[in-house]
Amino acid sequence: MKKISTILIIAVFVLSTGLSQSTTITSSNVLHFDGVNDYIRLGSMPPITSTYTIMAWIRPESVSLNTIGGWGHTSSSGNVASMLRINGGLLQTVQNNASIYGATSLTANTWVHVALTRNGNDFKIYVNGVLDGSGTENANTGSNVFTIGNMLYNSTDYFYFKGKMDEFALWNTELTAGSIESYMNSGMVGNETGLVMYHTFNQGVAYGSNTGITSVTDATVNGYDGTLYNFTLNGSTSNFVEWQQQSPTSSNVLHFDGVNDYIRLGSMPPITSTYTIMAWIRPESVSLNTIGGWGHTSSSGNVASMLRINGGLLQTVQNNAAINGATSLTANTWVHVALTRNGNDFKIYVNGVLDGSGTETANTGPNVFTIGNMLYNSTDYFYFKGKMDEFALWNTELTASSIESYMNSGMVGNEAGLVMYHTFNQGIANGSNTGITSVTDATANLYNGTLYNFALIGSTSNFTVCQNQDQLITFDPIADMTYGDSDFDPGATASSGLDVTYSSSNTSVATIVSNQVHIAGAGTVTIYADQAGDREYFAAIQKSQLLTVTERPLEITADDGQSKIVGEEDPELTYTITSGSLVSGDAITGSLIREEGETPGAYNIELGTLSAGSDYTITFISADFIIESATGINEHTPLSAKVYPNPTVDKIIITSNTPITEIVIINIQSQVIKEIKNIASERVEFNLGDLNSGSYIIRITDGNSTTSTMLVKE
């Protein structure tokens, strides 16, 4: 949408008070298409190249088949070359009659930024700066016309766009997602590199008579202006309009000029010993000015009961005596105010919270009720300056919780005890409303009020929008985290100062707890930042950042000293976590295994099925598992000496780098068969011809070490 100094937040939302809100930009318009036959055709056609980007802000009133814009043909032999449109609620690009769709369901009457990029035959669709769909198609490059708001197919116009459009741009390059988001947020000037065409629709008078305008102007130097076809160019449709929702049924507020604007009821609601007055106000001045209440037209009458602002504080005037609140009100800020009476006890509330109280004797003899000024001894004083909405009178003393509830949700008009309710939902916001002379009570009691001295045209002294402030979310990239890290604030902020809320695209990776990100598992997740707005600010465009959560590292070491005697069952292999830790509630499952073999010796312990789950990365440090013979000889221990040949028929040779001192040969019954001692030689040769065929263990001592191996006699 249009920018003044920061991005305007493209949204129409419902406040907790029930009012549908929208924004107003007096310096920048948008263009409304009627969906019947409105469209724009460029006088000269921008070339269709193998790389381009089309993008725009749109607020479709229908999400069925209607076209945003692109290239087409005036001849019957030509097919659509490249077109961006909505079909079945989804964005769709039509390329030479073949289609690629986005994934996000668009919402009618909601602003959204859309983009289509091409690089060769690869196409991408973006919604609000986020990739939403992609595919490959062969595009027809022989188009001869470019239209906005409809589709030209075989020389016939189809699928007219219905709704509002702004900032339609064409580039001769494939913009990245980051560039699309940047231009979505800040708009363009018109001289950006690669920008071929840019229509801002900043022409005419919003809602005015613009019948003298026949074309829209390209903001670049390329001069790709477009002719307006079939636009009525008068009123709130098929014309240049403001970008917010405007209709007689929209929810407006009433602006008082502070000079002489006020409302006087045609008949006076009775003043009783119990009542509540409440309203939403946005005062432009917090000096002495009146919200509303009872007074007198005769010189003998004093003010009976009146709620006003005095010195920045709420104040009730009762028979010329005053009770003050304690909260300093801020100019140009919406605030909910209330005054309750029970006998001679009065209470003042600000935003649903008790702010002051006192006891006064009230005059019960008034004869008039006014809103926006104070009638005192038949003279009007202290005119209210600012915006007002939802002025209500009850014949009961509402509790603090009831006041807060109605402040948040608004009223219907038929609530028990509700005497009068002025919503000011009349006229056209900021339009010409000079034919309206009174405001209508929403209850069945019909305490309607006459409008005095209101200009009823323009943005002051007239029906207007609730507010015109916008906000932007700033959301920086999130650093990678590790499974098990503590909850954290992602750090998004809103320019309004209002709290940002978060949501997660994948709760198996991250959830939101107390508005902080709680890591639930390893993986990737998109964290969304939102600010819903309030009576002062519009809802912000959602921002998002990708969060990568890496696996938690664990170092597991097999315990040393694990063994058994040959022939025994293996014990359960044990381990120790030597680095890292498990997240509370997690557990290690499975078991270690060892290298295969059942003869005496050393066997490598392996990780096996041991696991902490997919959220962990395990580094495993092995150890030896020892199988011992009955004699304690370990045939699997690596030899420092060499024994050959093995197997042998009759003799063996044993060599070592250090002198061999002893050789022992043992049978499988662990009996010593041969034993040679005091050798003191690095080479020993002896005959085994007297041994029976079979397997033996030979134990060799050389220097200070003894090693063993299996010997086979054939």
Distance, CA of 576 to CA of 593 (rounded, Å): 15
Residue 399 is given by DSSP the state: -
Please return the burial class of 531, using the count of CB atoms within 10 Å of its CB with bins 0-12, 13-18 and 19+: buried
Cα–Cα nearest to 356, from 333, 339, 344: 339
Q: State the pLDDT at residue 399.
A: 95
Cβ contacts of residue 329 below 8 Å, gap of 6+?
283, 286, 309, 312, 313, 314, 335, 350
- The string of pLDDT tens digits covering residues 202-226 is 998 887 889 999 999 999 999 999 9
Share of the chain above pLDDT 70, in %: 88
- For residue 138, is pLDDT > 80? no
Q: State the pLDDT at residue 79.
A: 55
- The string of pLDDT tens digits covering residues 26-83 is 236 899 999 999 999 998 888 777 899 999 999 998 888 899 998 877 665 545 567 8
Task: Give the mean pLDDT of 256-275.
Answer: 90
Q: State the pLDDT at residue 333.
A: 82
- For residue 10, is pLDDT > 60? no
Quote the distance between the C-alpha of residue 536 and its chain's center: 20
- For residue 23, is pLDDT > 90? no
**Three-state SS for 290?**
strand
Find the range with the poorest average confidence among 142-151, 259-268, 347-356, 428-437: 142-151
- The string of pLDDT tens digits covering residues 83-125 is 899 999 999 998 766 789 999 999 887 889 999 999 988 999 9
Distance, CA of 527 to CA of 517 (rounded, Å): 8
Share of the chain above pLDDT 90, in %: 54
Q: State the pLDDT at residue 60.
A: 92
First to last CA, the chain: 93
- For residue 698, is pLDDT > 90? no
Q: State the pLDDT at residue 248.
A: 29
- Determine how β-strand 562-565 pairs with β-strand 624-628: parallel
- For residue 463, is pLDDT > 60? yes
Beta partners for 254?
388, 463
Q: Which residue has the higher pLDDT, 197 or 306?
A: 197
Q: Which residue has the higher pLDDT, 139 or 474?
A: 474
Q: How confident is the model at residue 536 (pLDDT cuts 50, 70, 90)?
A: low
Q: State the pLDDT at residue 267.
A: 87
Quote the distance between the C-alpha of residue 501 and its chain's center: 8
- The string of pLDDT tens digits covering residues 615-673 is 999 999 999 898 887 554 444 445 567 888 988 888 999 888 888 889 888 887 778 88
Q: How confident is the model at residue 141 (pLDDT cuts 50, 70, 90)?
A: low
Cα–Cα nearest to 129, from 21, 3, 7, 22: 7
Distance, CA of 228 to CA of 38 (rounded, Å): 8
Q: How confident is the model at residue 339 (pLDDT cuts 50, 70, 90)?
A: very high
Q: State the pLDDT at residue 9.
A: 31
Quote the distance between the C-alpha of residue 154 and its chain's center: 42
- For residue 184, is pLDDT > 80? yes
Residue 535 to residues 281, 330, 424, Cα–Cα distance (Å): 10, 14, 15
Tokens of 459: 């943005």
Q: State the pLDDT at residue 616.
A: 97
Please return the burial class of 194, using the count of CB atoms within 10 Å of its CB with bins 0-12, 13-18 and 19+: middle
Quote the distance between the C-alpha of residue 474 and its chain's center: 11
Find the range with the poorest average confidence among 61-75, 223-237, 530-544, 575-589: 530-544
Determine if the peptide bond prior to 248 is cis (ω within 30°).
no
- The string of pLDDT tens digits covering residues 481-535 is 999 999 999 999 998 888 999 999 999 999 999 999 999 999 999 999 999 876 5
Average pLDDT, the chain: 85
Distance, CA of 545 to CA of 64 (rounded, Å): 31
Q: Which residue has the higher pLDDT, 213 or 366?
A: 213
| Residue with token string 């010409």 | 432
Q: Which residue has the higher pLDDT, 155 or 622?
A: 622
Domains and CATH numbers, the chain: 13-241 (2.60.120.200), 253-464 (2.60.120.200), 473-549 (2.60.40), 553-628 (3.10.430), 642-713 (2.60.40.3080)
**Nearest 10 degrees: CA dihedral of 127, 131, 137, 138?**
80
Q: Which residue has the higher pLDDT, 362 or 677?
A: 677
Cα–Cα nearest to 508, from 519, 500, 497, 498: 519
Give this prediction's pTM: 0.43
Distance, CA of 126 to CA of 324 (rounded, Å): 55
- The string of pLDDT tens digits covering residues 372-431 is 998 777 778 899 999 999 999 999 999 999 999 898 878 889 999 999 999 999 988 888
Cβ contacts of residue 549 below 8 Å, gap of 6+?
480, 481, 482, 483, 509, 510, 519, 521, 522, 523, 524, 525
Distance, CA of 262 to CA of 438 (rounded, Å): 11
Give the DSSP H/E element, type plus range, for residue 229: strand 226-229
Task: Give the mean pLDDT of 352-372.
Answer: 84
- For residue 2, is pLDDT > 50? no
Q: State the pLDDT at residue 81.
A: 60
Distance, CA of 483 to CA of 478 (rounded, Å): 15
Q: State the pLDDT at residue 25.
A: 29
Q: What type of residue is 455?
A: A
- Determine how β-strand 145-148 pairs with β-strand 39-42: antiparallel
What counts of helices (H) and strands (E) characterise the chain? 2, 58
Distance, CA of 277 to CA of 293 (rounded, Å): 8
Please return the burial class of 569, using the count of CB atoms within 10 Å of its CB with bins 0-12, 13-18 and 19+: exposed
Find the range with the poorest average confidence among 104-118, 157-171, 188-202, 694-708: 694-708
Q: Which residue has the higher pLDDT, 536 or 348?
A: 348
